[in-house]
Amino acid sequence: MTNVHPTVTVRVGDRSAEIDELIAPLISALWRTGFTTLTSCQDAGESNASWAEKLPHMITYVESRKGWAFVDFPIQDGLRFLTALAQAGPRDAFYVRTTHWAAPQAWQVTVKPMDLAMFDETMPSSFALRLLQVCFPATDLPEIENRLNRWSAGELVPPAPTDWASVGR
């Protein structure tokens, strides 16, 4: 599959990959701090636009994903990523977007069950949980990178009350 976004080569240790240029700094920071990523995209709407041409029912999905980036992780790394972001900043509107489904611009975090037979059709179906997808507004990239850098430097924020104003609590 051809990438629709400009890419740059990200190298960290023995890892190297062509990554969408807008999300490359995040992937580099994730790898430097020991996270494993599976796939990523700087704009899911743009990268899936061709699906809408072939499958009209995908139009709504494509429109809803414009301006939204994602990173796919093995489940435990994805949970550790969310924990790192929460521990490295205040429990503000950004935090609420990562945790509450009703927040404006709420992140979509999904565990994707996969049938292992998709990879070997001679096998009987057997579902497993393998992937945690974190989908977020691309406008959150600077704060994600900021918090990830603070977390990796050990600059954690003590627990405090959450500002729930964005969801009316």
Q: What SS3 state is found at 136? A: strand
Instruction: State if pTM tops 0.85.
Output: yes
- 73 close to 134: Cβ distance less than 8 angstroms: yes
What does the domain layout of the chain look like in residue ranges?
A: 7-153
- The single-letter DSSP state of residue 88 is T
Question: How many residues appear in the chain?
Answer: 169
pLDDT in tens, 84-117: 999 999 999 999 999 999 999 999 999 989 899 9
- 148 close to 88: Cβ distance less than 8 angstroms: yes
% pLDDT > 70, the chain: 99
- Extract the residue ranges of the chain whose pLDDT is less than 70: 1-2
Chain position carrying tokens 């959150």: 140
pLDDT in tens, 12-26: 999 999 999 999 999
